[in-house]
Amino acid sequence: MTAARARPVITFATDFGPAAPAVCRGVMYQIAPEALIIDISHQIPRFSIRDGAATLTFALPYMPVGVHVAVVDPGVGTDRLAVALQVARGDVLVGPDNGLLMPAADRLGGVVRAHVLENSKLMLPIVTSSFHGRDIFAPMAAHLAMGTPIETVGRAVDPATLVRSKIPRPRIGEGGRVPLGSSLLMEDSEGQVSLADNQGNAAERLHLAVDRSVRIRPA
């Protein structure tokens, strides 16, 4: 008996909200009808590269090896590059070169090859300036999932030149090592630095919100 061939895996994360991802999935299924498309999230805060990068860094290590397409792209229509990144684990990450992909790529072993998405034969026939998720990233991801070699998508670039996001790395702390109600800096379940209270809520106690600045000084 011949073993069943595994379905190609495409994961998909955007800040598009509820409707536009279905259009992109339709594009991908037309090119890769056998693909298993896993939606990670389409509720990333609009244009928040930081939140998108954190979502990918949290989720992708638990996904099957495959093609991971992500679009949080405030620079759509500008001269920012569209890229495909092959990582050491064997995955390919597809998206804008704006820092969105790099933390997750590092978590998957680091970028070993990087190519610019510029082969128009692997895009939709009409590429708009405002919907690269549909016109470029979705079809490119589907072609790659079906076995198209990464070098055919466009020219190679030095991974060292790729844009990196400014997500801090954690340094200290575990919640159970401080008294109840006390604050600490710790690495959370998504691998990011968190200011937390042991069995409390630091955000509520300190009246914090997204994009608020916090100054921390030694006691």
Residues 70 and 152 both lie in one domain:
yes
The angle, 0 to 180 degrees and rounded to 10, between the axes of the packed helices 20-31 and 138-145 is 30
Residues 206 and 119 both lie in one domain:
no
Residues 136 and 45 both lie in one domain:
yes
Q: State the amino acid at position 166 in one-letter form.
A: K
How far apart CA 117 and CA 184 sit, in angstroms, is 43
Residue 11's DSSP bridge partners are 38, 68
At residue 169, the pLDDT reads 52
Please give the full DSSP string across 128-145, using - where no structure is assigned: -SS-HIIIIIHHHHHHHH
At residue 12, the pLDDT reads 99
Residues 111 and 191 both lie in one domain:
no
Please give the full DSSP string across 94-113, using - where no structure is assigned: EEESSSSSHHHHHHTT-EEE
Range of 201's domain? 168-219
Domain tally, the chain: 2
Residues 141 and 188 both lie in one domain:
no
Contact 28, 10 (CB under 8 A): yes
Look at residue 1 and tell me if it is in a domain: no
At residue 2, the pLDDT reads 53
Look at residue 2 and tell me if it is in a domain: no
Residues 157 and 176 both lie in one domain:
no
Look at residue 4 and tell me if it is in a domain: no
At residue 170, the pLDDT reads 47
Contact 116, 155 (CB under 8 A): yes
How far apart CA 74 and CA 45 sit, in angstroms, is 12
Residues 45 and 132 both lie in one domain:
yes
How far apart CA 46 and CA 31 sit, in angstroms, is 28
| Per-residue confidence in pLDDT tens, the chain, 219 aa | 455 578 999 999 999 999 999 999 999 999 999 999 999 999 999 999 999 999 999 999 999 999 999 999 999 999 999 999 999 999 999 999 999 999 999 999 999 999 999 999 999 999 999 999 999 999 999 999 999 999 999 999 999 999 997 665 544 455 456 666 666 666 666 666 777 777 677 777 777 777 777 776 665
Look at residue 176 and tell me if it is in a domain: yes
Closest listed residue to residue 49, CA positions, set 80, 16, 71, 24: 71
Residues 60 and 143 both lie in one domain:
yes
How far apart CA 72 and CA 12 sit, in angstroms, is 11
At residue 192, the pLDDT reads 64
Closest listed residue to residue 181, CA positions, set 207, 202, 204: 202
Residues 172 and 154 both lie in one domain:
no
Residues 145 and 194 both lie in one domain:
no
Residues 95 and 144 both lie in one domain:
yes
At residue 115, the pLDDT reads 99
Look at residue 100 and tell me if it is in a domain: yes
pTM score? 0.79
Residues 81 and 140 both lie in one domain:
yes
Look at residue 136 and tell me if it is in a domain: yes
